Amino acid sequence: MSLVASFLMIVQPLSWAMSTPVFSSFLTLLTGWIFAPRRTVTGMIVAAGVAGERHHSAFHRVFSAARRSLDQLGLIVFGILTALLSDGPVPLSLDDTEAHKRGLKVFGVGMHRDPQLSTRKMPVLTWGHNWVILSVMVRIPCCPDRVFSLPILFRLYLNHDAASAGEDVLTLLVKPPSP
């Protein structure tokens, strides 16, 4: 089972942000994602028809440990969308989202105002990550009354304490202290 050539031409620029073996596994997963009834990695492998050819961990590593640049990947997706939506300016949206985390030793966590739980009179603070996400807003012809946001770039918001602690760690990695 393989992808249609015209669809393959659309996703081919994504190979610039990945190594060749990772892109090959990514194409296999993309094929399985289109045809799989369940959108799990194992379901995608089975739907693509490669369940016995390679170990399943090779496909799981595409998301967990593969070498790729997520910023470069996001900018390539933006370029693809700009080419597809070339009938004027491309609308962007910027939003943040809370990801609740537990533990004092999780990097980048802090107290953030939760907009879903807070009111004007009663702000609710939650402990966790705050992700800032840049998305392209897309209208699909089959759903003209709905707008879909495709995330392109994202960053973890770091409060002052977490950012300065991260700088200290980075300084140690780049320039270890002399004895």
Q: What was the pLDDT predicted at 167?
A: 55
Q: What was the pLDDT predicted at 172?
A: 44
The DSSP annotation for the chain comes to ----HHHHHHHGGGGGGB-HHHHHHHHHHHHHHHH-SS-SHHHHHHHHT-TTTS-HHHHHHHHHT--B-HHHHHHHHHHHHHHHT-SSPPPEEEEEEEEE---SSSTT-EEEE-TTT--SS---EEEEEEEEEEEEEEEETTEEEEEEEEEEEEEE---HHHHHHHHHHHHHHHSPPP-
- Using pLDDT thresholds of 50, 70 and 90, give the confidence band for residue 135: very high
pTM here is 0.68
**pLDDT per position as a tens digit, 71-123:** 888 888 888 888 877 677 888 999 888 888 888 788 888 888 888 888 999 99
Residue 174 confidence (pLDDT) above 50 = no
Q: What is the mean pLDDT of the chain?
A: 81
Write down the domain spans for the chain: 5-64, 70-174
Residue 160 confidence (pLDDT) above 80 = no
**pLDDT per position as a tens digit, 29-76:** 888 888 888 778 888 888 888 888 888 888 888 877 767 778 888 888
